[in-house]
Chain A
């Protein structure tokens, strides 16, 4: 088990370097001058521009820039961005908000998705099954920014913003994240429900389940403990792989609901050609994504003791 974890952690290193390299390269080749518009109408003085470019290593050739950046990251320094804010500090302020948003979205996925999937799978072909299948299809086919804007208007604006604040309200952070988290997770809730249903239906016909019922277990215990547990492995895999998608989708959701998380920071960073902010944010994002997927693989062993990581 420890061997497995260490091997996986070592495998992460090239992936992390590769991903940051791609992002760094793309940011580096962005057109436009980061000092443009920094000093108002009169433009920056040549001395300032020279100092700025020197500070941010902008005149170095690309591989050297990347190496210097990576060297700093290894020492835990994400650098200061083009607006002289410490990226590490900014991310510290913003990551908790996005983390809450993503975790709440995952909670919605797990709770609503699995319950809907179980209800549909147990009554295959009945009304509730068709209801779940049709409604999940509808949710999947509507783009998240349409769902977000429509729910924001009908549940936020029309209801006066008492229950669901229209935009992020720092006085009641958790309450104002409920609706955005639901929007962010909406498509994944639908996928989880469908995935749970499919796997449950398959397992309900398995021999071991017939044995479980034949030896006198109640239906709820047979389904809950035997069938469901075996059906959850693909679902957990999906949730893990989807985590990256949630962090990407947060860019859209945070924009709609004006949430001061990483998504917005990333988007302004890209818009302002602020490479340091973008690469720093993405590095942390990719790291979190890789760790979550390692966690998912370790969870397999808990769900199915036959899978071991020795």
Chain B
């Protein structure tokens, strides 16, 4: 959303006749933030990391030609080496490098789709509560409180026990369940944030002016309230994406998220924890990738926040 609107804004100014108009025209908040963002090295580091992980998730074959499900038992627990499998082999004799590359898909899928669904549900309810107020606000706010009072991890464990998986459950179904549970218990935070953000935007003159000119509520929300209230929600969602990846791994650790034969970082980490003393390399590589992915999204969120918040400069 942020980048899309930024691009839209820069395209507009670029298309304006006369070339130098860009200098004179007052910059919008989004284009100002984008200029700030471009100068921030942390932004670029996180963007490159995220691009790498997304590429890994979409086409793992680019990074490895080894089959992640090919087990060579004689070489089980082999140490990392430069001429053998780079990251060594795990207890089943799987190539850890191949497993780690292929494991990116589950985490990225869960992170992206959980974030999108919490963003959609939370933003919609937050806007409705903040914009309309009154009894609608009271009902939506209590509903938010109810879901907010159930901790994410607890709700996750319960939900996954209600709909258990077994070895034959298709991969995408399990990923879908994790996304659904993160969406159910993750939206209240976004909704609260959006509501308070809308409450701040609503009394502004431009909203009153639009209303005086006879704009419909939908139009006011779409073209005035939403763009101006979106920034904090975008920041928090970016950071949450990292958090959701970690929650997926935690559910797998408890044995109720993804289960073998699915290849995922969470499964690999929880398998490796048993051998923390004898085979630390089995733990190191999947944990490292997981942490880098979480880190990348948190850094991106921080960079966007700094760009949007003039006070922090």
Contact = CB atoms under 8 A, between A and B. Distances in A.
A137 B249 contact: no
A23 B146 CA distance: 11
B37 interface: no
B155 to A, nearest CB: 8
Nearest to B245: A143
Nearest to B142: A14
Interface string B140-151: 001101111111
Interface in A15-65: 15-16, 18-19, 22-23, 26-27, 29-31
B253 interface: yes
Contact of A18 (B142, B151, B157, B295): B142
B153 A19 contact: no
Contacts of B276: 149-150, 153
Contacts of A285: 151, 154
Interface in A252-266: 252, 255, 266
A95 interface: no
Interface string B117-155: 000000000000000000000000011011111111110
Contact of A146 (B146, B161, B242, B283): B283
Contacts of A201: 312
B298 interface: yes
Contacts of A252: 153, 250, 253-254
Interface stretch (B2-10, B23-31, B284-292): B284-292
- Secondary structure class of chain B's binding surface, majority of residues: helix
Given A137-B298, A202-B312, A30 B162 contact: yes
B269 interface: yes
Given A15-B149, A146-B283, A153-B277, A270 B161 contact: yes
A278 B143 CA distance: 22
Which of A145, A252, A255 is packed against the most chain B CB atoms within 10 Å?
A: A145
B59 interface: no
A193 interface: no
